[in-house]
Amino acid sequence: MFRSHTCGELRIEHVGANVILSGWVNRRRDHGPLIFIDLRDRYGVTQIVFDQSAASQAHAGASEVRSEYVLQVQGQVVHRTPETVNPDIPTGTIEVQASVITIFNASRTPPLYISKDGGEEESLRLKYRYLDLRRQRMQENMHLRHRAVKYIRDFLDTEGFLEIETPILMKSTPEGARDYLVPSRVHPGQFYALPQSPQQLKQLLMVAGYDRYFQIARCFRDEDQRADRQPEFTQLDLEMSFVDQEDILNLIETLFTQLVTTLTPDKQVPTPFPRLTYTEAINRYGSDKPDIRYGLELVDVSDVLANTPFQVFQNALAQGGQIKGLCVPGGGQYSRKQLDELVLVAQSAGAKGLAWLALANEANTAPRSSFARFVSEEAIATLIARYGAQPGDLVLLVADTATVVANTLSRLRQEFASRLNLADPSVLAFAWVLDFPLVDWNADERRWDSVHHPFTAPQEDDIALMDTDPGKVRARAYDLILNGYELGGGSIRIHQRALQQQAFALLNIDAETAQAQFGHMLEAFEYGAPPHGGIALGIDRLIMLLNNESTIREVMAFPKTQQAADLMMDAPSPVDEKQLHDLHITLRKKK
RNA sequence: CGGGGCGUGGUGUAGAGGCCUAACAUGCAACCCUGUCAAGGUUGAGAUCGCGGGUUCGAAUCCCGUCGUCCCCGCCA
């Protein structure tokens, strides 16, 4: 027997029991004739005492032991005297008087401090991930992730969903993200693609009559990484037949509300989830995934400044742009240098500049401003009123195209939320973003691209616009956002061949190409495809936000670096010539 | 693809032309110590300062290049 109890288990009621514990040496405190060892496993830490006078052989063994050695200890559970109780750990009222020690394995001096958290280069953590994962923080993240996924499975099972696996070796399509490709040995010159999502297969499962499907699906996208993006990640993927948008929104809202309430009860979830249209999100926040835990909303003042001689404003409006801004409470005290730094922030987001109006703390003192001298006092007063600016506030304006204005002010909004600590870390602010456009204009390729994907249904009222004004067509699509992150999105799908072909035509996918790439979908729609729709949600991002982590790497056991490398296994790596030969691959010479 | 940050004993940092024969903390090693829980004390070992080139009488420090890693832009239907 390796152990009778875990290292997190023993309490007062076990006093007197003879126990066996196995685990890692968290810390050793050597007092000579008396040695304390904190023995650790994933359930907790228990203090073991080695007394030379009581068990000399065990004591001798303990003096050989170092951090991260793996041990088994036999001994008796004893009370700690009141003054030696450790209130910081659950097992702190007892300790184990060791009589026998067995050293299963020694350990080199670890490059990470297991019992402390963080500080070192992340690349070191990734190289020694198996040590990093021993740390309490990572164990808690993995544990929460497990419980969240289990909660989702149980919930959807109760709701009648079937979990069905779909292939990892799939077909490449030119739409969307860059594919990870897998060469075929059997079919020279041909390739599988790893799934970016199981999109088509789940729709085909609807055609097959599995009217409530879900999957905890691994997805792969060969694009550059971010703090919230990894080359492979996990989605809750689900699809339902005979439902409308409302059914899906309600299902997910119930799932996440209950999940958070159960698993992270210290978090507040405002319900019902607020709903924004895409247009409203852009207008009010400059982003289709705003963090709505704080205000700093954008206000359009194009009309107020339309007739001012300031060239910057004039030019923007003349070119069909707009003038919008936001009000920073208490920002009126910013120094000229600090304001100049804000201009740089705005420029890094794409704006040519940033106009500012800094109100003095005293109501009667004239404001400082980069543009007031071009603008009438009356207009300034209107501006202040429009923003509800108080003495001591700062109004920032961007004049440019709608896109640049939105991007810049969204960035500034985040900047000030961070500086002023406006985002409450105990709040999970879910929200739905609805009525996305079906397509947007790709100026480079001179064609319409799907905003969501080519199978997204247009809204009934807008179908006629597909021929006349495609940019105005709203999709039956929805995103779920959380604290400024896109948690996921979905749509009601097209289930009729004719409409699907119309959609392909709009996307400039000719009949031949459509047949080659999506023929199976078109054909399936001819065999009784039910109305259906679904959603896909990022599990990694969800767990990250539940535990207030700042990157999804913290909630993945073995993540990759920004260059998509695995530092522990040293992947990717070259392969044998024989393997390449079998796959009919010749490497191009380096230039 | 572009912008920015970081790279110095095992780990985290300091040093910003000569005070560097590289400092501090922690870890590591040895010894002392019977109530610690970040134990304490004494002593000691451990770094050609990511790599390559250049400037200079002299480079951890300045310049160029390169590699790794992180953040952001593009990209991510």
Express each pLDDT in A484-497 by its tens digit.
Answer: 999 999 999 999 99
Q: Which ranges of A388-479 does DSSP label H, i.e. alpha helix? A: 402-419, 465-468
pLDDT of amino acid A554: 97
**Which residues are CB-neighbours of A468 under 8 A, at least 6 positions away?**
none
Residues 71-110 of A with CB under 7 A from strand B: 80-81, 83-86, 88-89, 92, 95, 109
Confidence of residue A525 (pLDDT cuts 50, 70, 90): very high
Find the distance separating the first CA and the last CA of chain A, reported in whole Å: 61
Q: Distance between CA atoms of A4 and A440, rounded to whole angstroms? A: 63
Residues 298-317 of A with CB under 7 A from strand B: none
pLDDT of amino acid A337: 83
pLDDT of amino acid A531: 97
Q: Quick: pLDDT tens for A319-335.
A: 889 999 999 999 998 88
Q: Residue A213 CA to B68 C1' — how many Å?
A: 43
Q: How many CB atoms lie within 10 A of CB A474?
A: 18
pLDDT of amino acid A67: 95
Share of chain A above pLDDT 90, in %: 84
Find the residue closest to B28 using CA and C1' atoms. Answer: A109
Q: Distance between CA atoms of A271 and A62, rounded to whole angstroms? A: 55
pLDDT of amino acid A187: 97
Any strand B atom closer than 7 Å to A582 CB: no
Q: How many CB atoms lie within 10 A of CB A478?
A: 24
**Which residues are CB-neighbours of A329 under 8 A, at least 6 positions away?**
A390, A392, A393, A420
Mean pLDDT for the stretch of residues A178-188 = 97
Any strand B atom closer than 7 Å to A567 CB: yes
Phi, psi values for residue A151, rounded to 5°: -60, -45
Q: Quick: pLDDT tens for A85-115.
A: 999 999 999 999 999 999 999 999 999 999 8
Query: Residue A154: exposed, middle, or buried by beta-carbon count in 10 A (0-12, 13-18, 19+)?
Result: exposed
Q: How many CB atoms lie within 10 A of CB A549?
A: 18
3-state secondary structure of A543: helix
Bases along strand B below 7 A from a protein CB: 1, 10-13, 26-29, 32-40, 68-77
Find the residue closest to B74 using CA and C1' atoms. Answer: A224
Domain map of chain A by residue range?
A: 12-105, 139-275+431-555, 296-417
Q: Give the CATH number of domain A12-105; options: 2.40.50.140, 3.40.50.300, 3.40.50.720, 3.40.50.410.
A: 2.40.50.140
3-state helix, strand, coil in chain A (%, to 5): 35, 25, 40
Residues 437-496 of A with CB under 7 A from strand B: 449-454
Any strand B atom closer than 7 Å to A63 CB: no
CA dist A503 → A241, A449, A514, A575 (Å): 21, 10, 10, 43
pLDDT of amino acid A309: 86
pLDDT of amino acid A175: 80
Residues 210-229 of A with CB under 7 A from strand B: 221, 223-229
Q: Residue A386 CA to B45 C1' — how many Å?
A: 70
Predicted TM-score of the model (pTM): 0.94
Q: Distance between CA atoms of A379 and A367, rounded to whole angstroms? A: 13
The pLDDT of residue A591 is above 80: no
pLDDT of amino acid A183: 97
A45 nearest nucleotide via C1' and CA:
B37
Q: Residue A6 CA to B37 C1' — how many Å?
A: 19
User: What's the CA dihedral at A155, A159, A161, A163 to 10 degrees?
Assistant: 20
Q: ipTM, 2 decimals?
A: 0.93
pLDDT of amino acid A484: 96
Confidence of residue A240 (pLDDT cuts 50, 70, 90): very high
Q: Give the CATH number of domain A296-417; options: 3.40.50.10490, 3.30.1360.30, 3.40.50.720, 3.60.21.10.
A: 3.30.1360.30
Query: Which residue, among A553, A554, A536, has the nearest Cα to A219 in the 3D structure?
Result: A536
Q: Residue A29 CA to B48 C1' — how many Å?
A: 36
User: What are the tokens at A517?
Assistant: 């790439």
The pLDDT of residue A176 is above 90: no
Any strand B atom closer than 7 Å to A176 CB: yes
pLDDT of amino acid A590: 59
Q: Distance between CA atoms of A573 and A555, rounded to whole angstroms? A: 25
Q: Distance between CA atoms of A164 and A157, rounded to whole angstroms? A: 12
Average pLDDT, chain A: 94
A50 with A88: CB under 8 angstroms? no
Q: How many CB atoms lie within 10 A of CB A189?
A: 9
Q: Quick: pLDDT tens for A441-495.
A: 887 778 899 999 999 999 999 999 999 999 999 999 999 999 999 999 999 999 9
Residues 234-273 of A with CB under 7 A from strand B: none
Q: Residue A348 CA to B65 C1' — how many Å?
A: 27
Q: How many CB atoms lie within 10 A of CB A477?
A: 28
pLDDT of amino acid A40: 97
User: What are the tokens at A341?
Assistant: 């730094």
Q: Quick: pLDDT tens for A19-36.
A: 999 999 999 999 999 999
Q: Give the CATH number of domain A139-275+431-555; options: 3.40.50.970, 3.30.70.360, 3.40.50.300, 3.30.930.10.
A: 3.30.930.10
